[in-house]
Amino acid sequence: MDRRIRILIGKPGLDGHDRGAKYIARALRDAGMEVIYTGIRQTPEAIAVAAIQEDVDFVGLSLLSGAHNHLFPEVARLLKEKGGSDIILFGGGVIPEEDIPGLKEAGFKAIFTPGASSSEVVDFIEQEIQTR
């Protein structure tokens, strides 16, 4: 790849806790990736539009509020609708194990739960970009 990997980190919904999202954004930047952080309390629509406008390779969503089963698939749907079906999706936050298969069905390649290291996220991205 002749340009840096571009990643949008989004916080959909009303969740105001962004320490984890900022931690991952910094780790990805430190790994040489270009990161766009949308900030807290974004609508799925705003995240999808920003991802398309910024021509990102990945969208990473972070959610702690429990609304991931609604908000994550909605972002995936909107991205497909707007022509971003090639964008690789991943998510993280307080997400019960039993919810992960449904999120993967909705289009998420990986879900990182509490305790996942930033290097796991970096490794995931580097592996996915190789298979593109």
Terminal CA-CA length for the chain: 10
In a domain, 1, yes or no: no
pLDDT of residue 3: 83
**CATH code, domain with 91:** 3.40.50.280
Question: How far is C-alpha 97 from the geometric centre of its chain's CA atoms?
Answer: 18
- Parent domain of 49: 6-131
pLDDT tens per residue across all 132 residues of the chain:
568 999 999 999 998 889 999 999 999 999 999 999 999 999 999 999 999 999 999 999 999 989 999 999 999 999 999 999 999 999 999 999 999 999 999 999 999 999 999 999 999 999 999 998
Identify the residue whose tokens are 């909605």: 74
In this prediction the pTM is 0.96
CA-closest candidate to residue 95, choices 119, 74, 116: 116
Structural tokens at position 61: 């969503």
Which among 119, 132, 15 is positioned nearest to 63, based on CA atoms?
A: 15
How many domains are contained in the chain? 1
- Is there a domain that residue 116 lies in? yes
Cβ atoms of residues 18 and 11 within 8 Å: yes
